[in-house]
């Protein structure tokens, strides 16, 4: 029996390099430009988007990380769902994927590698995409993910830079994933909540992306390693707005607030709060702020929707299998872009 959790101290999106460090490192790069590039590095969006012609734009993205669960198949499924999510966050659908794999083949049975790939394939198949190849490296640590190509009509690209004052903020999956994973390692996670967490991470954001397109949503991002605060901050910055969030309306994995209040706070929480810096204005109790900074693996989509479309969007999200999707706040005009939490 392979237990991938024994393999690493930090798994999933918690293992990402500090976004502040990364940003300052990449700031000096001289990037080639092209008129056909619709979304590039500058807006910290979820994927690159490149216009092929008037009807089609290409979405291109990758994500991979070390395990955050014990079971190889489940890990593969979650890693693939997480990578595919970037395509959904841009409003597109996935067409092709490549496997990216690190595996210690001398130390762990090769069955594990196969199960990871099978888990990934189950997500790729559900997405209606093709697995067209991959790259496997013998390495001391297990890591897996995908490079994904997707498509979207150029006039229907959903970015993190088009949230408008007056829009309602909608979040599709409950927060608390990082906390539950940390608690599970310490034997503190309630069984039911942990199972819900796994189920949530395995879910694709495909239906949510369809709902988003049906309601003509123009602004969204997926909430992953940098938490609601980090990805919300990027949206506020790219859209030049304030995001106002009512913490009591947040969908929450049961037990995660209590765990945070007991000090079970993943390290990435502190990193994410630092990333937002002075752009985070908090008047909510501390456990809520920590929840908003909790690193999500394969988290939900954060959308900004025009008020008149809000009810239809929520209905479609519920019907599509995201029962916890709800309004969590609104977009406001801002002198300085920020994310504001209140209770």
Partner 1 sequence: MAITVDTRGKQCPMPLIMFKKALKDNPDEHAFLILTDNDTACSNLLDFIEQNGFDAARHEEDGYIKIEVNAGVHHKSSLMFESKGNAELIGPQIIAVQLRSNVMGHGNDELGAKLMGAFLGTLKELDRLPTHIVCYNGGVQLAADNSPVLDKLKELEELGVSIIVCGTCVSFYGLDERIAVGKISNMYVIADILSKAMTTVTP
Contact letters for partner 1, residues 273-312 (x by CB under 8 A): xx----------xxx-x-----------------xx-xx-
Question: Is the CB of 41 or the CB of 286 nearer to partner 1?
Answer: 286
Q: Which of 280, 184, 149 is nearest to 227 (CA)?
A: 280
Closest CA to 246 of 272, 285, 192: 285
Out of 114, 270, 277, 319, name the contact with partner 1 by CB under 8 A. 270
Min. distance of Cβ 267 from partner 1 in angstroms? 5
292 is catalytic: no
Nearest to 229 by CA among 184, 188, 278: 278
Distances (CA, A) of 180 to 122, 187, 201, 294: 24, 10, 12, 10
Spatial CB neighbours of 21, under 8 Å, sequence gap ≥ 6: none
For partner 1, how many residues bind (rule: CB under 8 A)? 43
Rounded distance, CA 112 to CA 4, Å?
9
Binding segment for partner 1 (CB under 8 A), chosen from 32-40, 52-60, 139-147, 191-199, is 191-199
Shortest reach from residue 327's CB to partner 1, in Å: 3
- In the set 38, 250, 302, 317, which binds partner 1 (CB under 8 A)? 250
Among 3, 41, 249, 321, binds partner 1 (CB under 8 A): 249
Is position 229 an interface residue for partner 1 (rule: CB under 8 A)? no
The residue among 210 and 312 lying less far from partner 1, judged by its C-beta, is 312
Strands (E) across the chain are located at 37-39, 48-51, 57-65, 93-103, 130-138, 143-152, 168-171, 219-222, 241-246, 280-282, 301-305, 326-333, 338-342
The residue within the footprint of partner 1, chosen from 28, 32, 187, 263 (CB under 8 A), is 263
Spatial separation of the C-alpha atoms in residues 294 and 269, rounded to whole Å = 5
Identified catalytic residue from 13, 196, 292, 338: 13
Selected from 248, 283, 333, 336, the binder of partner 1 by CB under 8 A is: 248
Site string for partner 1, 139-168 (x = CB under 8 A): -----------------------------x
Between the alpha carbon of residue 99 and those of residues 3, 117, 121, 225, 239, the distances in Å are 21, 8, 9, 20, 33
Contact status, residue 157 vs residue 49, Cβ threshold 8 Å: yes
CA angle 254, 294, 268 (to 5 degrees): 140
Within 168-187, the residues that bind partner 1 by CB under 8 A are 168, 174, 182, 186
Segment near partner 1 (CB under 8 A); pick from 56-64, 202-210, 217-225, 318-326: 318-326
Options 3, 138, 262, 319; binder of partner 1; rule CB under 8 A: 262
Q: How far is CA 89 from the centre of its chain?
A: 9
Active site residues: 13
Binding site for partner 1 (CB under 8 A): 9, 168, 174, 182, 186, 192-193, 196, 246, 248-254, 257-258, 261-267, 270, 273-274, 285-287, 289, 307-308, 310-311, 314-315, 323-324, 326-328
């Amino acid at each position: 029996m392979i237990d991938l959790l024994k393999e690493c101290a930090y798994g999933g999106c918690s293992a990402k390099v500090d976004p502040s460090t990364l940003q300052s490192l990449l700031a000096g790069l001289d990037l080639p430009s092209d008129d056909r590039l619709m979304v590039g590095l500058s807006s910290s969006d979820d994927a690159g988007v490149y216009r092929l012609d008037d009807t089609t734009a290409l979405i291109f993205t990758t994500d991979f990380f070390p395990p955050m669960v014990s079971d190889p198949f489940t890990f593969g499924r979650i890693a693939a769902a997480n990578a595919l999510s970037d395509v959904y966050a841009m409003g597109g659908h996935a067409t092709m994927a490549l496997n990216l794999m690190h595996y210690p083949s001398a130390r762990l049975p090769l069955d594990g590698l196969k199960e990871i790939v099978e888990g990934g394939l189950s997500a790729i198949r559900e997405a209606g995409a093709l697995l067209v190849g991959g790259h496997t490296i013998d390495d001391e640590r297990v890591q897996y993910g995908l490079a994904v190509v997707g498509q979207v009509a150029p006039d229907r690209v959903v970015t993190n830079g088009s949230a408008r004052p007056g829009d309602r903020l909608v979040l599709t999956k409950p927060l608390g994933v990082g906390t539950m994973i940390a608690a599970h390692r310490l034997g503190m996670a309630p069984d039911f909540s942990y199972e819900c967490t796994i189920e949530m991470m395995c879910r694709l954001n495909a239906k949510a992306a369809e709902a988003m397109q049906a309601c003509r949503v123009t602004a969204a991002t997926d909430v992953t390693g940098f938490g609601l605060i980090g990805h919300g901050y990027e949206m506020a910055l790219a859209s030049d707005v304030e995001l106002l969030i009512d913490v009591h309306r947040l969908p929450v994995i049961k037990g995660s607030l209590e765990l945070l209040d007991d000090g079970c706070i993943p390290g990435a929480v502190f990193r994410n709060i630092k990333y937002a810096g002075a752009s985070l204005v908090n008047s909510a109790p501390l456990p809520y702020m920590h929840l908003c900074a909790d690193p999500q693996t394969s988290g939900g989509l954060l959308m900004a929707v025009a008020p008149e479309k809000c009810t239809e969007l929520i209905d479609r999200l519920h019907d599509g299998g995201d029962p916890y999707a709800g309004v969590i706040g609104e977009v406001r005009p801002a002198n300085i872009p920020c994310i504001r939490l209140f209770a």
